[in-house]
Structure 1
Amino acid sequence: MPELRVHAGRHYAVQYHYALPDDAWCVELSEAVPAPAAWAGIPRAETHLPGHAFVVAVIPDEDPSLEPAVRIHGHDEHIVPYEIMRWFMERVAEQVERCRLAFEQEARGAAQ
């Protein structure tokens, strides 16, 4: 489920997915787009959905020697407000911490 946030009248989304080819978690930032009009009558339906990601953080979770990285995507220029980038990077930092804790727990389990 994506996380949505409104800033200065624009909608943004952060969503997570696992990229098997990279053995990494990806945290994506996009400008959110309106949900289909047909959803208007559905209780608790999202009003916006993630659009095309223009910033993606890649967080390896299989090899502790690999560092997280941020990829910038797109042909168009995207202006990302500071508060939105900060919100996104907080989510990235949380995911990095989760992956590092998992590495530590796995290492402790292997040592026992």
Structure 2
Amino acid sequence: MLAHPSGDYAITEMYSVPDDAWYLELDLVRGQRALVTAIVPDEDPAREPTVCFDPRGPHLDIPYEVMRWFMDRVDDEIRTSRAWMRQRPELVEVIQGLRQEHMGAIDDADFPHVLAQVRAAVPEADLPAVIEAAFGRTLDGP
């Protein structure tokens, strides 16, 4: 949980495996109530990030400074979680396939075999970016 300097608001971040998405909630600390939820998919380039407000809750004014703070954090999450999606379309396709097949991680024993497959599919200059985006590691190791 990330607390706002005022102490009245906080951001809770969690990952939903079934949704393949990060959920960021702007919470009202007093009352322990989620006010706004941002959903940042990180596996499917076709799914766009969204922001949802609680329609069942009573009307509540959220100060601009707090909303800006929350949206800045959402923007950071979009930038880091979806950076690989800004690659060329053919690389995005390879990265997405690797992420789905290997769930974003690969052990050292399987890495040489997978690296050889990726080398056959993408130009050598793009190899470091693909490996980083798919597995969060460098060509040399974790």
TM-score > 0.5, shorter chain as reference: yes
Distance in 1, matches of 2:58 and 2:19, equals 25
The structural deviation recorded for 1:20 is: 2.5
The structural deviation recorded for 1:21 is: 3.0
Runs of 5+ consecutive residues of structure 2 not aligned to the other structure: 96-129
Distance in 2, matches of 1:89 and 1:54, equals 13
Q: 1:65 aligns with which of 19, 24, 46?
A: 46
Q: Is 1:56 aligned to residue 53 of structure 2?
A: no
Computed over aligned residues only, the root mean square deviation of the Cα atoms, in angstroms, reads 2.5
Runs of 5+ consecutive residues of structure 1 not aligned to the other structure: 35-50
The structural deviation recorded for 1:6 is: 4.1
Aligned to 2:18, the other structure's residue is in SS state: helix
TM-superposition CA deviations, 1:62-81 (whole Å, max 9, x none): 10121000011142112100
Q: 1:11 aligns with which of 8, 20, 42?
A: 8
The structural deviation recorded for 1:94 is: 0.4
TM-superposition CA deviations, 1:13-70 (whole Å, max 9, x none): 0110012232100110011138xxxxxxxxxxxxxxxx22110000001101210000
Count residues with an aligned counterpart.
92
Identity of aligned residues (%): 36
TM norm structure 1: 0.70
**Structure 1: which 4+ aligned runs deviate by more than 3 Å?**
102-106
1:21–1:78 Cα change, 3 Å: farther
Which has the larger strand fraction? Answer: 1
| Letter paired with 2:66 | I
1:17–1:31 Cα change, 3 Å: same
Moved more, 64-73 or 18-27: 18-27
Higher relative contact order (CA 8 A, sep 6+): 1
Which has the larger helix fraction? Answer: 2
Distance in 1, matches of 2:5 and 2:72, equals 16
